[in-house]
Structure 1
């Protein structure tokens, strides 16, 4: 983890959720490390290292992010791959 990891992750979600339309657009070019799924991975990792109070506070924010991400993506009907081995957010699909 690095200083500002939470702020960086939240900024990526803010940018993604600021997109117009019902569903999130997929990037035309895969950008490893820059996709919001990676930002969600970062938040999950941070949660493992926070004290109880901070974990609860960030957890409430993550719950709202998860709700919005789930609302603005679709279930991915395809088979699981290396990327989807992680959190549930990797099994969601965005529009192209």
Structure 2
């Protein structure tokens, strides 16, 4: 039975590598400090892949409350906003609430909402990419905890559930 020469096998890239390259290029190139494979998976999730969605009675629904934050190309912007906040001068930082939290664009002026969006994307990722994203976020979160002060008032969502820890930090206003 004929077989391919070793040079011919090495010359043709596997389909998976081509798919990673294609998804990495969608939305502006690789995401800062994420591998090309993780970037490709994030791009697939942003573009509405079926990861994290469930079917009930023949209809698709989304169990994640923060899924409205997932839009193509936004994860890189959210990570940049998070880093930019942490680069501000001064020892202790305070969060700034959005002036118009109901507005789809203005709500991201609040860093806690940006962190919600990053959490929503992270929850949708498959395990290898999720671990990589969690490592990246844990470093940023450690710096965020160190440079912001905890708020003693408990913050809850509209249904009474406690909000994540990043909402329980002191705000300027």
Shared fold (TM-score greater than 0.5)?
A: yes
Report the structure number with the largest CA radius of gyration. Answer: 2
Alignment of 1:1-96 (within 5 A): 1-27=70-96, 30-31=98-99, 32=101, 33-34=107-108, 35-82=110-157, 85-94=162-171
Structure 2 length normalisation: TM-score?
Answer: 0.49
Superposition deviation, residue 15 in structure 1:
1.4
Whole-angstrom distance in 2 between the partners of 1:26 and 1:41: 14
Give the secondary-structure state (helix, strand or coil) at the position aligned to 2:155: coil
RMSD: 2.1
Aligned residues between the structures: 95
Q: CA deviation at 1:14?
A: 1.6
- TM-fit CA distance, 1:94: 4.3
Greater RCO (Cα-Cα under 8 Å, separation 6 or more): 1
TM-score normalised by L of structure 1 = 0.83
Show structure 1 runs of 5+ residues with no match.
none
Instruction: Tell me, in whole angstroms, the C-alpha distance in 2 between the residues paired with 1:95 and 1:81.
Output: 19
Distance, in Å, in 2 between the alignment partners of 1:47 and 1:22 is: 29
Structure 2 counterpart SS, 1:19: coil
Deviation of 1:17 (Å)? 1.0
